[in-house]
Amino acid sequence: MALMNHSQYKETLVQARYVTNEVLQKNWYTKLSNISLSVIGQSEEGEEIASITLGRGSKKVLMWSQMHGNESTTTKAALDLVNFLSSKNELAKIINDNCTITLVPILNPDGAKRYTRANANNIDLNRDAKLLSQLESQALRKLFEAFGPDYCFNLHDQRTLFSAGNAKKPATISFLSPASDPERKMNPTRESAMKLIVAMNQELQKEIPGQVGRYDDGFNDNCVGDFFQMKKVPTILFEAGHYPNDYEREKTREYIFHSLIEALKVIAENRIHEFRVADYFKIPENEKRFYDILVKNPQEINPDLTPNVSVGIRFKEVLETNRVLFEPEIVDVAELNGYFGHETFDCSLKNDVEQLHSRKEILNLIVNSKN
């Protein structure tokens, strides 16, 4: 099946990386009609945590985004999904007839406002599943228990450093069916989540071949996905990663949108059994092989550096006046064989050096770098 025309449903008033309650209240919530919008709780600083419910079917799907406040790509994709499900598209009708979907667009509104992973108390909500020490964690748990989902989608962003396996391919999208015990045993709950991931991966491979990864499944029962999987609810971790030249993650947003629709379609049509667990394990595991910028032969412009080293640069995300800036910083000066750059410069090549001279901030980092 051809992928849906994302541009038709994209919420154009919510873009870039800084997405907060205020942004949604100003640009999106006011446009919702005939959709159930509820407040499920408050954040530690008193911000409302909203949920949206769509559909009328018997299969219940719970999804939440921005559990980490600085991970907004999946929130944007979820808004697009709501726009799609509110349309007259035939597939939207099939999903709505067979599924009831509850979405929490921003679980961590205080972290979203600060553009931080943690909440206002500097607690990682994805390490609070058992303790329930934070109001946001309590709100999600109460919703989980009241709604009684058949499936859970845990929506996140991942850093630009991840590759899909050891190939020179960014992990644009990664998935995980979390473990439900320390031995990471297989069981029907995990297998259902794995099969849904296989379904999504098959569609994504048609568009971004080799750019889908499988996240590490180390068990931690204080992680929400692992905890819900322990409760015998198939749970999928979605990780929105890097697509070339897409630091605002608008292209990745599109692929998350398609993934969500495919998963809901398979659930609605009772087709999970058509997919094989073995194909889940064919998805390459994420590896940390990328720098945002990789500079080879830097000693050509900085003679203080020893031969054979390269300079690995990653961008630090900095919030400034409601906008996220990407500030380069050196993280490695070493022999970096087997590592890649989303952008690569070789200082032994004249054209690359000329390009660096037009990138003064990068050039200054290299000139002043040390082993």
Of 2.70.98.10, 3.40.630.10, 3.40.640.10, 2.40.50.140, the CATH number of 6-288 is 3.40.630.10
Using DSSP, state whether 175 is helix, strand or coil. strand
Indicate the pLDDT class of residue 34, thresholds 50, 70 and 90: confident
Indicate the pTM of the whole model.
0.97
Residue 210, sorted as left (phi over 0), alpha (psi -120 to 50) or beta, turns out to be left
| Confidence check: pLDDT of 191 > 90 | yes
Report the pLDDT averaged over residues 38-66. Answer: 97
Nearest C-alpha neighbor of 287 from the set 155, 143, 149, 167 = 167
Active site (catalytic) residues: 239
Give the integer Cα–Cα distance in Å for 67 and 119: 9
Report the pLDDT averaged over residues 235-264. Answer: 98
- Residue-level pLDDT at 92: 97
Report the pLDDT averaged over residues 205-225. Answer: 97
Answer yes or no: are the C-beta atoms of 266 and 99 closer than 8 Å.
no
The residue ranges of every structural domain in the chain are 6-288, 290-367
| Confidence check: pLDDT of 65 > 60 | yes
**Burial letters for 139-176: b for 16+ Cβ neighbours within 10 Å, e otherwise?**
bbbebbeebebbbbbbbbbbbbbbbbbeeebbbbbbbb
Using DSSP, state whether 162 is helix, strand or coil. strand
Both tokens assigned to 65: 């985004």
Indicate the pLDDT class of residue 1, thresholds 50, 70 and 90: low
- Residue-level pLDDT at 316: 97
Q: How many percent of the chain have pLDDT more than 70?
A: 99
pLDDT digits over 116-152, tens only?
A: 999 999 999 999 999 999 999 999 999 999 999 999 9
Mean pLDDT of the chain: 97
Indicate the pLDDT class of residue 30, thresholds 50, 70 and 90: confident
Indicate the pLDDT class of residue 32, thresholds 50, 70 and 90: confident
| Confidence check: pLDDT of 83 > 60 | yes
| Confidence check: pLDDT of 90 > 80 | yes
Give the integer Cα–Cα distance in Å for 62 and 53: 9
- Residue-level pLDDT at 2: 66
- Residue-level pLDDT at 146: 98
**Which residues make Cβ contacts (< 8 Å) with residue 241, sequence separation at least 6?**
157, 158, 159, 160, 162, 170, 171, 172, 173, 174, 213, 252
**Which residues make Cβ contacts (< 8 Å) with residue 145, sequence separation at least 6?**
none
Both tokens assigned to 214: 């499988």
Indicate the pLDDT class of residue 240, thresholds 50, 70 and 90: very high
Bridge partners (DSSP) listed for residue 52: 37, 103
Report the pLDDT averaged over residues 258-263. Answer: 98
pLDDT digits over 274-327, tens only?
A: 999 999 999 999 999 999 999 999 999 999 999 999 999 999 999 999 999 999
